[in-house]
Every structure is written in C-alpha cells, then in structure tokens.
C-alpha cells in the first residue's frame, strides 16, 4: 500500500518480514505477505524466515510458515 518497499533490507539483509517472524508478529506477517513481500529470501548468513521464527521461539509462526510451504 502507498508504494511501500516491503522487501527493503538492513545491513544484514533482513527485511521487515524477517523481523516480524523473529518477533512473532502474526498480523504483520500476514500483512507483509499480502502486500507482496518475498518469502524466498535468505539473509547474509543464509538463514531463512523459518530459521528466524524458530530462533525467536515462535512455534506458532513456524507452523504458519510450514503450512504455507515457506521455509
């Protein structure tokens, strides 16, 4: 919405979706995905969205990602 860059990255190549997965923000995750955020990216160390969700201790987010075939 409003031409936001949903896949903008920080210095570690983390997008807002990486941070939302790490922090367990399910509503933000859904909004970003609906807004066209790429779900196939990895960070500078090769870690995926699923990795960051697990690292953050967010089993419910991990389940959502797995159910939607997002690793």
- Name all domains of the chain by residue range, CATH numbers in brackets: 16-67 (1.25.40.20)
CB burial of 33-61 (b: ≥16 within 10 Å; e: otherwise) equals beeebebebebeeebbbbbbbbebebeeb
Q: What is the pLDDT of residue 1?
A: 56
Averaged pLDDT for residues 31-52 = 95
What letter would DSSP give residue 58? -
Q: What is the pLDDT of residue 49?
A: 97
Reported confidence tier of residue 3, pLDDT bands at 50, 70, 90: confident
Q: What is the pLDDT of residue 27?
A: 95
Whether residue 18 contacts residue 56, with contact meaning beta carbons closer than 8 Å, is answered with no
**What does pTM read for this prediction?**
0.89
């Amino acid at each position: 919405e409003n031409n936001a860059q949903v896949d903008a990255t920080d210095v570690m190549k983390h997008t807002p979706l990486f941070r939302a997965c790490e922090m367990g923000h399910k509503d933000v995750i859904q909004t970003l995905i609906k807004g066209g955020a790429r779900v196939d990216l990895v960070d500078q160390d090769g870690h995926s969205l699923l990795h960051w969700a697990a690292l953050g201790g967010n089993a419910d987010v991990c389940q959502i990602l797995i159910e939607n075939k997002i690793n």
